[in-house]
Amino acid sequence: MSFTVAIDGPAAAGKGTISKAVSAHFGFAHLDTGLLYRAVGAKVAEGQDPFRAAEGLVPEDLQRSDLRTLGAGQAASRVAALPTVRVALVDFQRRFAESPEGAVLDGRDIGTVICPRAQVKLFVTASPEVRAHRRWLEVGGDEAQVLAEVIERDERDMNRTDAPLRPAPDAHLLDTSDLSIEDAIAQAIALIEAKRG
């Protein structure tokens, strides 16, 4: 039986970094679910039908070197609005979660919608100010504006009708506001090891 770890949380809380570290530690497959929409958007930009692109998505599609570009992000936001694409990508994520070697999926609705039966659910968070500072260190610009954007995105993610961002009732809350990344990873690994027995 596969072992699934669902890691959710808002932007810049550390869930991606923790997910990659957990995946490497346990030898689990890792899926950054945000890349899915970028990969579909890239295929659509090449002329594919959005639903067929989503339905035919394979893990290798997520290795493309052009998925972090501005164009891929714009294409992703367009295809993410299509219900048929969202349904197809739910299926992809659920198939990925059944990886025989174990799987770590990170996103915003993994523990609540995609993998409600995951053996371990983490909700990684941090204060908006801490997350904005982390994002500002990455992208620069006006830190106050970055904070405003983080708060705006939180509002949108938490209040959307389709799969809002919220911790699953049985998720472990991991607040990284005052933790080093090493301590946050260590806590996540300890929680998973305890669950694995």
Q: What pLDDT digit, counting tens, does each position of 154-183 carry?
A: 887 888 777 788 999 999 999 999 999 999
Q: What is the CATH number of the domain that holds 124?
A: 3.40.50.300
Is 39 found in the same domain as 87? yes
Which residue has tokens 């959710």? Answer: 8
The answer on whether 81 is annotated among ligand-binding residues is no
84 plus 177 within the same structural domain: no
Measured distance CA(151)–CA(171) in Å, rounded: 23
10 in a known ligand binding site: yes
Q: Which domain range does residue 12 map to?
A: 1-28+102-197
Residue 195 has pLDDT above 70, yes or no: yes
Which domain-ending residue is among 47, 74, 98? 98
The fraction of the chain above a pLDDT of 90, given in percent, is 62
**39-48 residue pLDDT tens:** 999 999 999 9
Indicate if 168 and 188 belong to the same structural domain: yes
Q: Is 17 annotated as a binding residue?
A: yes
The tens digit of pLDDT for each residue in 18-44 reads 999 999 999 999 998 888 988 999 999
Q: Is 9 annotated as a binding residue?
A: yes
Structure pTM?
0.85
Last residue of a domain, one of 98, 119, 154: 98
| 58-89: pLDDT as tens digits | 888 999 998 876 567 668 767 877 888 888 99
Do 148 and 196 reside in the same domain of the chain?
yes
- The answer on 125 and 189 residing in a single domain is yes
Q: Is 12 annotated in some ligand binding site?
A: yes
Domain identity same for 57 and 9: no
Q: Is there a single domain that holds both residue 120 and residue 39?
A: no
Do residue 139 and residue 166 come from a single domain? Answer: yes
| Among 91, 89, 125, 99, CA closest to 8 | 125
Same domain, 42 and 134: no
The residues pairing with 125 across neighbouring beta strands, listed in sequence order, are 175
Note whether 41 and 114 are same-domain residues: no
CA-CA distance, 101 to 27, in Å (whole number)? 7
Whether 134 and 66 map to the same domain: the answer is no
- pLDDT score at 122: 98
Q: What percent of the chain has pLDDT over 70?
A: 96
Residue 13, annotated ligand binder?
yes
Q: How many domains are contained in the chain?
A: 2
Tell whether the model's pLDDT for residue 1 goes beyond 70. Answer: no
Q: What is the mean pLDDT of the chain?
A: 90
Q: Cα(32)–Cα(19) distance, rounded to whole angstroms? A: 8
Same structural domain, 113 and 173: yes
Sorted by sequence, the CB contacts under 8 Å of residue 16 that are 6+ apart come out as: 32, 106
pLDDT at 83: 82
Of 69, 98, 127, which residue is a domain's last?
98
